[in-house]
Amino acid sequence: MDDRYIIPLPDFKYDHQALFDVQDNNENYVANPHFKKSRNLDTSKDNLFSDFFNPSSPVIEEIKNKFNFKTDCKFTRVLAGGVLPSHIDPKRTAVVMFPITDGPSPIVYYDENKNKLFEYTYTGVTLINAKIEHGVPVNKSDRIFFQVNSYLPWEQLVTMYKENTLYEQ
Ligand SMILES: [Fe+2]
């Protein structure tokens, strides 16, 4: 596994159904403000991609509290036929991705000329590097993730992972 891009966390335990229920049919999904500001995209309409920022519930507090870094979180939803345009995240450095829907389309990493560098199909909870260009170009089915954000340098997160200090086991 190439730990420049992603680190699977298959042993992280969480209540999948409870997470699904927090966001299901929730009215707080909105167009992504960063893409609005930087590219004038209304992502909900133009890309079928929406975010639900700072959700709050016991299952979410439990997950957030396990991580040994300061964090916030959101849900991201791309409906079937939509696109998560390629980008580098402006603030967060890395994200712990929790697949909510089955069979999520792969994340694709690109170099500065938009050549594909790496592609990954999630099989479970995964830490991803948000500071290398990435996107989800094709979504055949609805794709929902819960995302726990980190603002630590990627190298530091890799070290924490290797030392088993990324989260409370
Ligand atoms: Fe991203």
In the reported structure, the alpha carbon of residue 17 is separated from the centroid of ligand 1 by a whole-number distance in angstroms of 24
Place of tokens 């990954």: 120
Contact 105, 138 (CB under 8 A): yes
Q: Which of the two residues, 2 and 149, has the higher pLDDT score?
A: 149
Given this model, what pLDDT does residue 133 score? Answer: 98
In the reported structure, the alpha carbon of residue 134 is separated from the centroid of ligand 1 by a whole-number distance in angstroms of 6
In the reported structure, the alpha carbon of residue 32 is separated from the centroid of ligand 1 by a whole-number distance in angstroms of 11
Q: Is residue 169 pLDDT above 90, yes or no?
A: no
In the reported structure, the alpha carbon of residue 35 is separated from the centroid of ligand 1 by a whole-number distance in angstroms of 11
Given this model, what pLDDT does residue 31 score? Answer: 97
In the reported structure, the alpha carbon of residue 88 is separated from the centroid of ligand 1 by a whole-number distance in angstroms of 6
In the reported structure, the alpha carbon of residue 87 is separated from the centroid of ligand 1 by a whole-number distance in angstroms of 6
What residue segments make up the domains of the chain, in order of their start? 6-162
Rounded to a whole number, what is the largest CA-CA distance in the chain?
Answer: 43
Q: For the segment 16-37, what is each residue's pLDDT rounded down to a tens digit? A: 999 999 999 999 999 999 999 9
* CA atoms within 13 Å, Cβ hemisphere of 134: 21
In the reported structure, the alpha carbon of residue 147 is separated from the centroid of ligand 1 by a whole-number distance in angstroms of 10
Q: For the segment 52-77, what is each residue's pLDDT rounded down to a tens digit? A: 999 999 999 999 999 999 999 999 99
Given this model, what pLDDT does residue 1 score? Answer: 58
Given this model, what pLDDT does residue 17 score? Answer: 97
In the reported structure, the alpha carbon of residue 110 is separated from the centroid of ligand 1 by a whole-number distance in angstroms of 12
In the reported structure, the alpha carbon of residue 4 is separated from the centroid of ligand 1 by a whole-number distance in angstroms of 15
The dotted CATH code for 6-162 is 2.60.120.330
Q: Is residue 2 pLDDT above 80, yes or no?
A: no
Rounded (to 5) percent helix, strand, coil in the chain: 20, 30, 50
Region 158-169 average pLDDT: 95
Q: Is residue 114 pLDDT above 70, yes or no?
A: yes
Residues lining ion ligand 1 (Cβ < 5 A) are 89, 130
In the reported structure, the alpha carbon of residue 145 is separated from the centroid of ligand 1 by a whole-number distance in angstroms of 12
Given this model, what pLDDT does residue 25 score? Answer: 92
Q: For the segment 115-156, what is each residue's pLDDT rounded down to a tens digit? A: 999 999 999 999 999 999 999 999 999 999 999 999 999 999
